Structure 1
């Protein structure tokens, strides 16, 4: 990373996500890259909350060179891909796609209603860009949840989850009531993203659509009297340039 990039992406606290409309008409709130945080966050390519209305969706399209984690918040989403998989994900379910050397897939709302969820793109290291495409999913009941005081923590990716990626990482869905401390991990990068509610992260106000990016994770204290819900995502950087070209990460 150049000195200009380091200066450009230095943030002291949370920044707002940015509204994005995809060419298919799907609306998203993007955590990064955005005008407020203009680069990727090695090993993460992008992260956003998507809102797919009943008359919109993503027709069959290609990807390669990275992995995708989709986590459903509302409604259901129908997934189909070139591996022959057809799966409907409901609230609390998660899917992992390894695009590798290439995959095609589509995403549409299930039934007559729309759907909303979170989507994370994770870079593949250079040595694994051409691995075979793969797919896995997990129902909400398969994702471990623990109660810590008034806080619940669901592991979407990480210890106890059936979903694994080529990059060492952790993806937590956290509902904070009172206070909760996240320790982070030395040498990893990560971010916190606000799903709903309001509270604070290390004393800074934090709510829906806010993001705190960290090129190096650190201990964080989250507090809320209003059921703040966030996802906390961290992973081991590859130390390689992320070269995104539309749906491909080269």
Structure 2
């Protein structure tokens, strides 16, 4: 639930909202939603998708942004117009630079349901017409470090083979005590709850919840037992985000 309390640079905690795609896939979306209607420059949208064995996304077009998919459970088969075919499994990541245009499909692997996280990152104006590109990373290729109170895996950022055209960081954080999320001044970012429960800046925070900032800062995260979340932050482009379905103009 949304609280009245906000912190310096923080927007408080909101629940994600259910989205049903035209193909029958259900998602829990952090933004944009009715409760959080705006994009979060440079981020276009973020959601957790749940794909049943007989559902998925047939071949469809995208352009004008970059996609990071990160699997939580099960496997997802990817195929695209570049000729790439790849299956991403638990704790593995894929990045697509759609640029001037790409087509791709996503289906659950092995006849079993899967779920994961998908982030859309706007391309700056000068990058809208770049050639499309693809890269993936196994769980072993994503660096993991222990900190006081948390285990942190870098999906995008220092040491990861996943790079984007926007300066940003994407962390998978498993908090067992307390952890401080640090966002550079002037950057936008968000926390999204994957599993467990705890708090952000003293406000209750759990699976499907989102906490956003547009100014950077330091934010206190605490776990009630165990809390898994992703922490994503990036430097805004300062340009309008014009989303038209699968295209970001």
Please classify the TM superposition score into its range, dividing by the shorter chain length. Answer: over 0.9
| Counterpart-to-counterpart distance in 1, 2:87 and 2:164 | 21
Q: Per-residue deviation at 1:149? A: 2.7
Corresponding residue number in structure 2 for 1:191: 190
Corresponding residue number in structure 2 for 1:108: 107
Moved over 6 A (4+): none
Equivalence map 1:171-182=2 (5 Å): 171-182=170-181
Moved more, 74-83 or 144-153: 144-153
Q: Per-residue deviation at 1:12? A: 4.0
| Counterpart-to-counterpart distance in 2, 1:203 and 1:29 | 23
| Counterpart-to-counterpart distance in 2, 1:147 and 1:231 | 15
TM-score (norm 2): 0.95
Corresponding residue number in structure 2 for 1:231: 230
Corresponding residue number in structure 1 for 2:169: 170
Q: Does the 8 A contact of 2:10 with 2:214 survive in 1?
A: no
Corresponding residue number in structure 2 for 1:94: 93
Moved more, 214-223 or 65-74: 214-223
Equivalence map 1:1-250=2 (5 Å): 12-250=11-249
| Counterpart-to-counterpart distance in 1, 2:224 and 2:238 | 39
| Counterpart-to-counterpart distance in 1, 2:146 and 2:214 | 28
* 1:60-118, Cα deviation, whole Å (9 max, x unpaired): 00000000000000000000000000000000100000000000000000012110000
| Counterpart-to-counterpart distance in 2, 1:172 and 1:206 | 17
Secondary structure of 2:54's aligned partner: coil
Structure 2 unpaired stretches of 5+ = 1-8
Corresponding residue number in structure 2 for 1:6: none
TM-score (norm 1): 0.95
Structure 2 CA distance for partners of 1:178 and 1:62, relative to 1, 3 Å: same
Secondary structure of 1:13's aligned partner: strand
* 1:154-213, Cα deviation, whole Å (9 max, x unpaired): 000000101100000000000001111122111110000000100000100000000011
Corresponding residue number in structure 2 for 1:5: none
| Counterpart-to-counterpart distance in 2, 1:225 and 1:148 | 17
Moved more, 177-186 or 93-102: 177-186
Structure 2 CA distance for partners of 1:141 and 1:121, relative to 1, 3 Å: same
Q: How many residues align?
A: 241
| Counterpart-to-counterpart distance in 1, 2:57 and 2:11 | 36
Superposition CA RMSD, Å: 1.0
